[in-house]
Structure 1
Amino acid sequence: MATPEESAAPGGGVGLFTDSPFGCSGVRAPAGDTATQDMRMERTREDEVRDRMADIAGDDPGPAERALIGRLIRSFLDKTPRGVDQLAVLLRGGDPDMLREHAHAMKGSASNIGAASLARVFAEIEQSAREGVVPDPDVMLGRVACEQALVHPVLEKIAAENA
């Protein structure tokens, strides 16, 4: 069975994604971004998602709040693949304005459910597009795929706990 890093690799290739702060090669924090790397060592993706859900529903959610958490996460998991497909089209299309808007929306969706690492990748795409630069599609889509492979099992777990 492939690891999340192998599954995230374009074509599912083994060994393409190893040894980075994100768990995937070629998927690295920007140079000099030691604060982000230090933060990653202290908090897990699950911590980030659980903290965000506690912000939304409180520390001891009742049945209605738990159902809301489950629906929020499930909605994100259901809609994200289409959003990433559209992101790929926009990255390859070269229109920085449309790319910026879409990356901004994707960043917001990821932030809303606590997928902070994924939101940071979308934020980087958004910032590049804001500067009029369309980043390399293969690199950015690889980073998105890697981060999705790492955060989606966490989201599935928390959604199932709150179904």
Structure 2
Amino acid sequence: MDDQHLDNAVLLGLQEVMEDEYPQLLETFINDSRDRLGTLQQALGAADAQTLRLAAHSFKGSCSNMGAPLLAGLCRQLEDAARRECLEEVPALLERIAAEFAIVSIRLKGELQRHRFG
């Protein structure tokens, strides 16, 4: 699974540290990420740059910890746009974040299947 969407070395490290809790970590990340995307959409709808910035910052850290570098980078761009209060940049970034999360989610679900049944 060594590709641009997920860092295999990070996932292997997490698997070693988390052991039997690794599948739960993956599921938690997927579910929490869906919630974070919803928070970002709501903040955009409310034109709330501060909430966007904080949510993007938190999501960025989570993505970095899970070895999703492209997703983390997009969250960093969103955080920067919100910090500058350039909300006109946000819809396109959110679309890219949602698309990248869809890819990451599919790959992590595959990782879950390999871990459980492999």
User: Which residue is equivalent to 2:24?
Assistant: 71
Does residue 1:45 correspond to 2:15, yes or no?
Answer: no
Counterpart Cα distance in 1 of 2:9 and 2:92: 29
- Verify the 8 A CA contact 1:91 1:134 in the aligned structure 2: yes
For residues 74-123 of structure 1, the C-alpha deviation after alignment (integer angstroms, 9 at most, x for no partner) is 10112211210110011222222121111111111111111111111111
Q: CA deviation at 1:136?
A: 3.4
CA contact (8 A) 2:43 2:52 kept: yes
User: Which one-letter code corresponds to 2:13 in the other structure?
Assistant: D
TM-score under structure 1 length normalisation: 0.62
Larger radius of gyration: 1
Q: Percent identity?
A: 25
The equivalent of 2:75 in structure 1 is 122
Q: Give the one of 104, 113, 118 matched to 1:160.
A: 113
Give ranges in structure 2 of 5+ residues lacking alignment: none
Unaligned runs of 5+ in 1: 1-41
Aligned AA (1:53): L
> How well do the aligned residues superpose, as a CA RMSD in angstroms?
2.1
User: Contact between 1:92 and 1:137, CA under 8 Å: does it hold in 2?
Assistant: no
Measured at CA, do residues 150 and 55 of structure 1 come closer, stay the same or move farther in structure 2, by a change above 3 Å?
same
- TM-score, normalised to structure 2, is 0.83
CA deviation map 1:29-60 (0-9, x unaligned): xxxxxxxxxxxxx94324x1x211223344xx
SS at match of 2:26: helix
Aligned length: 115
For 1:75, give the aligned amino acid. Answer: T
Runs of 4+ in 1 over 4 A off after TM superposition: none
Counterpart for residue 55 of structure 1: 13
Partner secondary structure for residue 87 of structure 2: coil
Greater helix content: 2
Write the distance in 1 (CA, Å) between the matches of 2:62 and 2:32.
10
Q: Distance in 1 between matches of 2:4 and 2:23?
A: 20
